[in-house]
Amino acid sequence: MNVYICSTVRHLLFSLLKATYEKPTPSHIIFFYDYQDIDKNSFDLTALPDHITVSLLSRKAIGNKLSHSLQGKLFHFLAMRNAYLPNIIKHHFAHLLNNLLPELKTNVTNAPIELFIFNERNKMSRLFRLLVPDYQMIEDGMANYTKKSVSRSKWLIRLLQGKTPSYLLFGESNRCKAIYAVTPDAIPSEVRSKAKQINFITKSENIGYLDQFFGYQPQQHNDSNAFIIATQPAFHKEVLEADLQFKIYDEMISQLNDIGTPIILKTHPSEDPESYQNRFPNIQLAPSKLPLELLLLSNQKKVNIISISSSAGLGFEHLCNKIELLDAEQISKSEPIMLSWQNNHSELQRAVRDKIKLSQTNC
């Protein structure tokens, strides 16, 4: 059985796509709905194919249950230290999970299982890694392609562990045996040998159940020039004006209205959609808790996704034209660039105009 550990609706969608692609292999998906404050009742579990099951769990509830027993505290301690349990202790831990989590719809003592995770540093991923000697990763976004600096105090221990001393890499653990990526060749060279091409992001009649599962009623846009504006939480808060991102979306909407193209606003699941509804009452808002990529899979025509610097649509480029005001080379200089937009509106106008014009050329 394949078991997937998910914390975001994007993880959930990717897990469902992979599980569908690998039919008839039984798959069980564990989704922690409180990471993005998702209503667990918003999913229609009856829509799932026979070979896929989904458990909807709370990270907070699991943490509380583990903390109320000495055994639970011990297993949590081991999980945070990348431990793998001997068989006799592993079965004891599996029974503890099954007893603590009646909503877990699969018996995790069943062997063997193939574990798929998205972020190996996520606490829930660490917890379920206690059950297996090795695991596989599925791309979690741009973090898979970057190196995260490590404080000097940790360099020596990382060197002794056989890891790059000065920076962290997704998939660096010797227990990670594969990394499924949209662009395997762009994975850092130190872990590139583990990279595999994602091949399960496809439109087919087999994924027709996804709309019902997510409670989404597709609205078709026959104009291939339609734009989805993908918002994202504010950054550089200590430097930039609080409403700068709203002003950027104002400019996007103004210029898109000038060319008469349909516009959909898709807020990030961690944002409050009401603030956008109040600011843009005449713009269609897609349900905030849906994965944006579901809109692409449900639409018959290729659409444009425009954002400041979001990974929205990554891996779905065959279904969308992805447009970012800040490209990969500009991310490291995003603060001064956005400061220039804040201080000089004509700079912002030019940046938006150039990107929209480029998207029209590429259509």
**pLDDT > 70: percent of the chain:** 96
167, part of any domain: no
Give the domain-ending residue among 182, 205, 228. Answer: 205
Q: Which amino acid is at 138?
A: I
Q: What's the number of domains the chain is made of?
A: 2
357, part of any domain: yes
For residues 319 and 167, what is the distance between their CA atoms, to the nearest angstrom? 34
191, part of any domain: no
144, part of any domain: no
CB contact at 8 A, 352 and 255: yes
What pLDDT, on a 0 to 100 scale, did the predictor assign at position 110? 61
- Looking up residue 314, the CATH number of its domain turns out to be 3.40.50
What pLDDT, on a 0 to 100 scale, did the predictor assign at position 330? 82
Beta-carbon contacts of 170 under 8 Å, excluding residues fewer than 6 positions away, are 119, 120, 137, 140, 143, 144, 179, 191
Q: How far is CA 263 from CA 280, 316, 362, in A?
A: 11, 19, 18
Highest-confidence segment of 179-183, 219-223, 313-317: 179-183
74, part of any domain: yes
Backbone torsions φ then ψ of 3, nearest 5 degrees: -120, 130
Give the domain-ending residue among 171, 205, 239. Answer: 205
CB contact at 8 A, 314 and 145: no
Paired tokens of 352: 């938006």
282, part of any domain: yes
212, part of any domain: no
Q: Average pLDDT, stretch 221-232?
A: 78
Q: What is the β-pairing status of strands 227-230 and 263-266? A: parallel
Same domain flag for 227 and 105 = no
pTM for the structure as a whole: 0.87
What pLDDT, on a 0 to 100 scale, did the predictor assign at position 162? 85
CA distance from start to end of the chain: 42
Q: What is the pLDDT of residues 291-318, one digit of tens each?
A: 999 988 888 788 899 999 888 888 888 8
Average pLDDT of the chain to the nearest whole number = 89
158, part of any domain: no
E-strand ranges in the chain read 2-6, 27-32, 52-57, 114-117, 135-138, 148-149, 167-168, 176-181, 195-197, 227-230, 263-266, 284-286, 303-307, 320-324
With a cut of 60, say whether residue 282 has pLDDT above it: yes
Give the domain-ending residue among 154, 171, 205. Answer: 205
Same domain flag for 31 and 134 = yes
For the beta carbon of residue 362, count every other beta carbon within 10 angstroms: 9
Same domain flag for 242 and 340 = yes
Same domain flag for 123 and 238 = no
Question: How many CA atoms are closer than 13 Å to the CA of 180, on its beta-carbon side?
Answer: 17
With a cut of 90, say whether residue 221 has pLDDT above it: no
With a cut of 70, say whether residue 109 has pLDDT above it: no
Same domain flag for 135 and 229 = no
What pLDDT, on a 0 to 100 scale, did the predictor assign at position 99? 83
Same domain flag for 233 and 356 = yes
Residue range of the domain that includes 353: 219-362
Same domain flag for 121 and 17 = yes
With a cut of 70, say whether residue 220 has pLDDT above it: no
Backbone torsions φ then ψ of 147, nearest 5 degrees: -115, 130
